[in-house]
Each structure stands twice: as C-alpha cells, then as structure tokens.
Structure 1
C-alpha cells in the first residue's frame, strides 16, 4: 500500500466509525484494529487527534462551501440568496449530524499550541475556504463589503445554531415539535424581508 493510500484508508475508516458510532467510536485504537496495523502506524500519519480531525474536517468544509456556492448561482435578489444559502447549509448538515458534530463541536474540545506550524497551516486552509463560503453569500447582501461579510457570517451562524439545537434534541432523544423543513422556513422568514420567499 502506498503512503498516501494508507493515509486515505485511515480517513475512510475514521469516517465509517463516525457514521456508525458517532464521535466516541473514533479512536486511534479502533482505527488501527480496522486497518490491521499497529496504533503507531496510525500515529505516523496523524500524530494527534487534531491532525486527524483536520484531515477529516477540511474536505467537509470544502464541500459545505461548494454547496453554498452552487445554491447561490441562480439567486436573483437578497431574499432568494439568503433562502437558498440557509436551505443548502441546513440540508448539508442535517443529513449527517455526526459529521456536523465533528466539524463544529469537536474542534472546540481539542487544544493545540498557537505556535504549532501545523495549526497555522490548517487555519490558513480554513480561512481560504470560509472566505469562499462567506464571500458567495456576501456578494448578494449589499455594496458594503464589511457589512455584507458580517451579515453572511451571522446568517451562517444562525443556520449552525438551528442544526446544533436539532442535534441536541436528537442526542437527548427529545423529539422536536416541528419538522426540519418547518424550522428552516421559520429561520428564513426571520432572516429575510417580509416579501414572500419561494418555498423549497
């Protein structure tokens, strides 16, 4: 097996463990067992949990940005742009809550020195991708680039909050009183002007 093939296989196993067992199932020991190699062999490729998480996270973040860009291609005005963005981001995350937790919750629990060059490399990649994500929406939100970027960030944060609360309800087995589509529509109605917004 080539070196890149081993690294890719480790990520594939980690994604499968995450999908089947949630974050708690993703461990170096579990990956090594599935890989049929020693834990040290896994640590060679991903020496720390943040390294493994970054390798999983960056392609997911890239896909999130691409979904947003694709959804906004046909947006003709601000309300449609916001509605399209909210629906695309919500659909992406609600379709895979374990992935969402790995992307947006787990990184908050993992620490790495700010001086670590690997941390700067990952953050540089994250900033490039989030510039695309927020830039795609901000282009539809008005002429002031600073205000538009802030509004794009606020809209994205609102969608993530909706997904977070949905995941929380699922995690404690407390069924929501409203369906996902109804909650997404309610969020869009709050974020957009009072003119009718096309339903998805």
Structure 2
C-alpha cells in the first residue's frame, strides 16, 4: 500500500513529491507509521524499484527465449529493452536516474543487504543472454560471455538514457531512434543488415 501510493505520488508530482510526510498525508496515517515500515528512503527505494527491475527482466528474457545464436539474442535483448523503456520514460527515470540524485538513498555501511534482491534480479536478467553468447563459440571466441552480456545491457541503457535526455530537453536527435538502435546492434554484433530488415 505504501509503495503503491509512492508510485502514484511520483507519477503525479515527480520524484520531488515523494516524501514521508506526503505519503503519510495521502494515506491518512502519521509520518511515524511510514517510518515504522520504511526506516529510511533506502528501503523504500528498494521496494519501489525491485518490481520494476523484475518486470524489465521478464521482458528481456521472454524476448530472447527462442533465439538460437548470440547475434539473435543480443538483437532481441537490445530491441526489447529499448522498446520497454521508451514506452514509459518516467518509469525509466525513476529506475535508473532518480537514485543518483535523491538525498538519503545512497547506501551506508551495513546497508549492503538491501542490494541483494536487486543484484539477484539483475543477475538473472543476464543469465539467459550469457548462455546464448557462451553457446555460440563462433561469436564468443575467447571472450567472456558474462561480461559481454552485462556490456550489452549497459549499452542499451546508455542509449535510452540519451534518448530520455533529448526528450526532456525537447531536443530531437538528428538520427531516428530506429536507426540508432540498429547502429548499436550492428556495433554489438558486428552484423550489417539491409535497411528493409531493420526495425525497432
């Protein structure tokens, strides 16, 4: 109930509207009642973001489940991840940008266990992509499949970050989103496809 209300507040007012006092007021309880369940914003941030990360994981693992090669898996992973986040840039900003700027959310000594469920979720996002890359020896060569899987994820999220920034500034890119996704996939896979076959 607290997390659902926190999501509503962020959707309506942005992350600056998410305070313990605002949560207490809208829920009709005392601020102390919120603090009882969430002693700090770090715990609230974890519970706020974890379901979103799990949803993201499900999107990418479903997209690559039937792929047969590293190239197919990387392409499906990138396209599904970018499409998922472009469908709701507000959700993306909360998940990947909010925590960088929110006072009181950064970890302190002894808080490491708060990250365990987040690490488990992101790790499972990479597992299937790593397996597809590792099984394709012609693609992998002497590379490290896990590092490549993580790098693919980071590259796709980097592209979404830049697209989100351009959208926030109302400053469109010179190149279409589709062509940038295609270029990123070409870079990550070393493949070249005809323009007719390229789709986001």
**Range that drifts further, 186-195 or 73-82:** 186-195
Task: Map residues 37-186 of structure 1 onto 2, 5 A cutoff.
Answer: 37-109=29-101, 110-116=105-111, 119-120=112-113, 122-143=114-135, 147-186=144-183
TM-score after normalising by structure 2: 0.84
Compute the RMSD of aligned alpha carbons: 2.1
Post-superposition offset of 1:45: 1.6
Deviation digits for residues 112-145 of structure 1 (CA, Å, limit 9, x no counterpart): 21323xx31x222122112211111111112579
Question: C-alpha distance in 1, partners of 2:191/2:91?
Answer: 33
Consecutive unaligned residues in structure 2, runs of 5 or more = none
Q: CA deviation at 1:42?
A: 1.6
- Relative distance call for 1:151 and 1:66 in structure 2 (3 A) is same
1:11-30 aligned at under 5 Å gives the runs: 11-30=3-22
* Rounded Cα–Cα distance in structure 2 between residues aligned with 1:171 and 1:195: 31
